[in-house]
Amino acid sequence: MEGSGASGTRATLPELLVVVVTYRSADVIEDCLRSLSTGVGGAAATRIVVVDNGSDDGTPERVRSSCPEAELVQLGANRGFAAGINAGVTAGLTAGTAGVLILNADVRLGPGSVAPLLAAGSDARVGIVAPVLRGVDGAVHFSLRRRTTLLRALGEAVLGGDRAGRFPVLGEIETRADAYRRRSAADWVSGAAIYVTRRCLEALGPWDESYFLYSEETDYCLRAADAGFGVVLEPGSEAVHLGGDSNVDPRLWSLLVRNRIRLHRRRHGALSGAVLALVVAFSEAVRALSGRPTSRAGLRALVRRRSALVADLAGPPPPGVVCFSAQDWWYFSHGHSDIQLMTRLAADRPVLFVNSLGLRMPRPGSSSAPLSRILRKIRSAARGLATPVPDLPDFHVLTPFFLPLYGQGVAASLNRWSVRAQVRLALWRLGIRRPDVVVTLPTAWPIAEGLQRRRTVAYRSDRYSALPEADTSTVLALEHDLLAAADAACFSSLPLLEDEAPLTGRPVLLRHGIDTGVFDPAAYAEPHPDVVAVPGPRMGFVGTIDAYTIDLELLELLADRCPDATLVLVGRIDTWVDDLLARPNVRYLGEVSFEDVPSVMAGLDVGLMPWQDNEWIAHCNPVKLKEYLAMGLPVVSTTFPEVEPYRDVVGVAADAESFVAAVRDAVRGDGVGTPLSRRQAVGGETWDEQLRILRDVLTGGPGPVAAGGPGSPCVAS
């Protein structure tokens, strides 16, 4: 559901983000999503994000089938309610979002229930609004809460929660019926269904993920009050809540007991927290003697490590992953697929990223810039085992010391033993046991083959045996060995899959993706200053220039035939380009970080893809194409298989003359497609979608089965 009402009035509707957090919710999620239509009615233009905490019961599949317009974010493991909310807000919040409606999967919105929430939230003094929650029998759930105090904790211990709740000084739960028939203020409310205004969200920032389950909403509501926002119940809005598991599930009750004390200690100090723990222990002991199993579990929780309680609920952590990459984190662009997928995967599991082990010994005459390559790799190896991204503490990078020896013989065997020992040591230091192994570079397969591993995935991002600088026969044999041994093989292009599918047991199409939030022209009103300083119009190539992918003669011809335009080159150069750079209208701006690539592209008038016609290009799927299109740029490319589905938005040239003519048209504003159609062409081809496919492969699930055009994942039959 993407909004409601006539198209003529849609622009005037407030924008509402709905975040639904799921965990093993297959039995309830469909009804929840169906209730959104009647609940929202015509009150808002709505974006739905469902965040799944590693469900293994088919929840993601139910979401996709019942609500295809919803964006599904899969965390891969049970990271808790707060983590789910934060992920949903990150994925769905836009500049125009008025507020966020947060729902449990077991909530059913009542008809027209959203409009009263929005109306109540329009009061600048209000930050959080909750509907009246009812059970399936129609009875009101007591969802209003008062702050924990020692007197209230003692009152509930002696009188019980329902009786103590009749007296505000003695009970935390508001049990007086009239409080649910009028707009009532509360210290905090049940998090099963709450609306958080944009101003409150911006003032408070992310939810605290350290509580895992229970007390997240308590903490958030109390923080809202600290910031001057009111928390209210809106009686004109109702929803049905099927929940209540914490009252009957000993594990959930245990965590609730611990988190209640933990939150109080954080806000009131260690002494007050210790006294509350004694009161709670007394309360749980009294009820445990009467045979209540949740209270017996609550008593045990008071002496048990909280981490153990969380582990019980979260289940076993997902296995670690070792990726033998074809790239090097320290000097390759972070736009490469290995890096994009593995950094995302590290959000919920440890990842060891092993930098490229090379394809052959660099030497003069057969390798471009051999000395600089050797020095670069030595500097990379000298960094040891590193954790380079502060926000990704589970993403680790290793460059083993190695010699580029890949065949038979004593030296090659000793080299393999040494590299494998370094990888095993890194795994031991990181606490990773029996990892899933992803092998991109075929020369790393003899290393990976000797590791204790759970699953093996061959990631065929390119045909490496077709690389001119590779030892073709050796690399080809390793590619075949890897494909035969792998539990699954992921292919970045359809030609590569079609050629190699017979060599493996489970071929999966895993195309390259794009981060449309990063590659968004609206975010770069001011392009990169180095590009702006170049005279326009600007024909640009952003990427590595080497001897086996870029047609340098074509670029020289383009510069000569378009003297009134500037050819802008940005990226690493690994081959001889002096003749090209000698042209007066050619500017080389050097290398830029991946973070600067979008702003560089924003300053171009046309994006160039001047590929050579060879086996490497025939089997590749350049990420560059999607980056250009996501930025809305006119694109002109030489012909190759993976560009064919994009002919509606890309100028595809069969020869040098037509390439130059297409660039001239694009420079004049007559490029193929429009900025909007180009962005739409890659809008669904995100890295997050490709990550979902990879997760399915790593879990051994059935995987996506589809066929056809760009971005369509498929499993070959």
Place of tokens 């590569």: 496
Q: Which residues contact 661 (CB under 8 A, 6 or more apart)?
A: 653
Q: What pLDDT, on the 0 to 100 scale, is given for residue 5?
A: 38
Single-letter residue type at 254 = S
pLDDT tens digits, one per residue of 94-123: 888 999 999 999 999 999 999 999 999 999
**Distance in angstroms (rounded) separating the CA atoms of residues 416 and 404:** 10
Let me know: does 103 contact 22? Beta carbons within 8 Å.
no
Single-letter residue type at 304 = R
Q: What pLDDT, on the 0 to 100 scale, is given for residue 312?
A: 54
Residue 458 inside a domain? The answer is yes
Q: Indicate if 537 and 576 belong to the same structural domain.
A: yes
- Which has the minimum average pLDDT: 104-113, 143-152, 294-303? 294-303
Residue % of the chain over a pLDDT of 90:
53
pLDDT tens digits, one per residue of 549-574: 999 999 999 999 999 999 999 998 88
Single-letter residue type at 574 = D
From 228, 243, 258, the end of a domain falls on: 243
Let me know: does 250 contact 293? Beta carbons within 8 Å.
yes
Q: Indicate if 645 and 544 belong to the same structural domain.
A: yes
Q: Indicate if 213 and 326 belong to the same structural domain.
A: no
Residue 690 inside a domain? The answer is no
**Distance in angstroms (rounded) separating the CA atoms of residues 240 and 391:** 38
**28-43 burial, b for 16+ CB within 10 Å, e for fewer?**
bbbebbebbeebbbeb
From 289, 314, 339, the end of a domain falls on: 314
Directed axis angle between helix 250-268 and helix 293-303, to 10°? 50
Residue 178 inside a domain? The answer is no
- Which has the minimum average pLDDT: 40-49, 470-479, 702-711? 702-711
pLDDT band at 706 (very low <50, low <70, confident <90, very high): very low
Q: Tell me the pairing of strands 635-638 and 230-241.
A: unpaired
Taking residues 402-408, report their average pLDDT: 69
Q: Assign residue 225 the CATH number of its domain.
A: 3.90.550.10
Q: Which residues pair with 357 in a beta bridge?
A: none
pLDDT tens digits, one per residue of 250-282: 666 676 777 778 787 878 888 887 887 888 888
Nearest C-alpha neighbor of 169 from the set 148, 194, 195: 148
Residue 545 inside a domain? The answer is yes
Let me know: does 302 contact 277? Beta carbons within 8 Å.
yes
Q: Indicate if 348 and 419 belong to the same structural domain.
A: yes
Give the number of other Cβ atoms within 10 Å of residue 131's Cβ: 31
Q: What pLDDT, on the 0 to 100 scale, is given for residue 250?
A: 63
Residue 496 inside a domain? The answer is yes
pLDDT tens digits, one per residue of 44-99: 899 999 999 888 888 999 999 999 999 999 887 788 888 899 999 988 988 889 99
- Give the DSSP H/E element, type plus range, for residue 587: strand 586-588
Place of tokens 């397969």: 445
DSSP assignment of 52-73: E-S-SSSHHHHHHHH-TTSEEE
pLDDT tens digits, one per residue of 501-542: 999 989 999 999 998 888 999 888 889 999 999 998 999 999
pLDDT, greater one: 712 or 234: 234
Q: What pLDDT, on the 0 to 100 scale, is given for residue 712?
A: 37
Taking residues 400-404, report their average pLDDT: 78
Tokens standing for 122? 């329009």
Q: Indicate if 303 and 433 belong to the same structural domain.
A: no
**Distance in angstroms (rounded) separating the CA atoms of residues 31 and 21:** 14
pLDDT band at 320 (very low <50, low <70, confident <90, very high): very high
Residue 120 inside a domain? The answer is yes
Q: Evaluate if residue 318 carries a pLDDT over 50.
A: yes
Question: What own/partner pairs with CB < 8 Å and gap ≥ 24 does 168-173 have?
Answer: 171/146, 172/145, 172/146, 172/147, 172/148, 173/142, 173/144, 173/145, 173/146
Q: What pLDDT, on the 0 to 100 scale, is given for residue 362?
A: 46
**Distance in angstroms (rounded) separating the CA atoms of residues 567 and 559:** 6
Q: Evaluate if residue 2 carries a pLDDT over 60.
A: no
Q: Which residues pair with 146 in a beta bridge?
A: none
Single-letter residue type at 708 = G
Q: What's the domain range around 65? A: 7-146+186-243
Edge to edge, the sheet with strand 635-638 lists 586-588, 566-570, 538-542, 606-609, 635-638, 651-653
Single-letter residue type at 55 = S
Q: Indicate if 377 and 261 belong to the same structural domain.
A: no
Q: Evaluate if residue 378 carries a pLDDT over 80.
A: no
Q: Evaluate if residue 704 carries a pLDDT over 60.
A: no
Q: What pLDDT, on the 0 to 100 scale, is given for residue 391?
A: 81
Q: Indicate if 678 and 550 belong to the same structural domain.
A: yes
Three-class SS state of 337: helix
Q: Indicate if 498 and 622 belong to the same structural domain.
A: no
Q: What pLDDT, on the 0 to 100 scale, is given for residue 8?
A: 40
Q: Evaluate if residue 386 carries a pLDDT over 50.
A: yes
- In degrees, rounded to 5, the angle at the alpha carbon of residue 293 between the alpha carbons of residues 287 and 294 is 80
Q: Indicate if 331 and 362 belong to the same structural domain.
A: yes
Q: What pLDDT, on the 0 to 100 scale, is given for residue 624?
A: 94
Nearest C-alpha neighbor of 144 from the set 177, 107, 99: 177
Q: What pLDDT, on the 0 to 100 scale, is given for residue 709?
A: 38
Q: Evaluate if residue 366 carries a pLDDT over 90.
A: no
Q: Indicate if 304 and 373 belong to the same structural domain.
A: no
Nearest C-alpha neighbor of 322 from the set 301, 304, 295, 345: 345
Q: Indicate if 497 and 638 belong to the same structural domain.
A: no
Mean of pLDDT over the chain: 86
- Give the DSSP H/E element, type plus range, for residue 534: none
Let me know: does 535 contact 714? Beta carbons within 8 Å.
no
Single-letter residue type at 153 = A
Tokens standing for 655? 């020869």
Three-class SS state of 188: strand
Single-letter residue type at 593 = S
Q: Evaluate if residue 653 carries a pLDDT over 90.
A: yes
Taking residues 192-196, report their average pLDDT: 93
Tokens standing for 257? 């007991």
Residue 516 inside a domain? The answer is no
Q: Indicate if 263 and 221 belong to the same structural domain.
A: no
Q: Tell me the pairing of strands 395-398 and 385-386.
A: antiparallel
Residue 157 inside a domain? The answer is no
Question: How many domains is the chain built from?
Answer: 4
Q: Assign residue 341 the CATH number of its domain.
A: 3.40.50.2000
Residue 199 DSSP one-character state? H
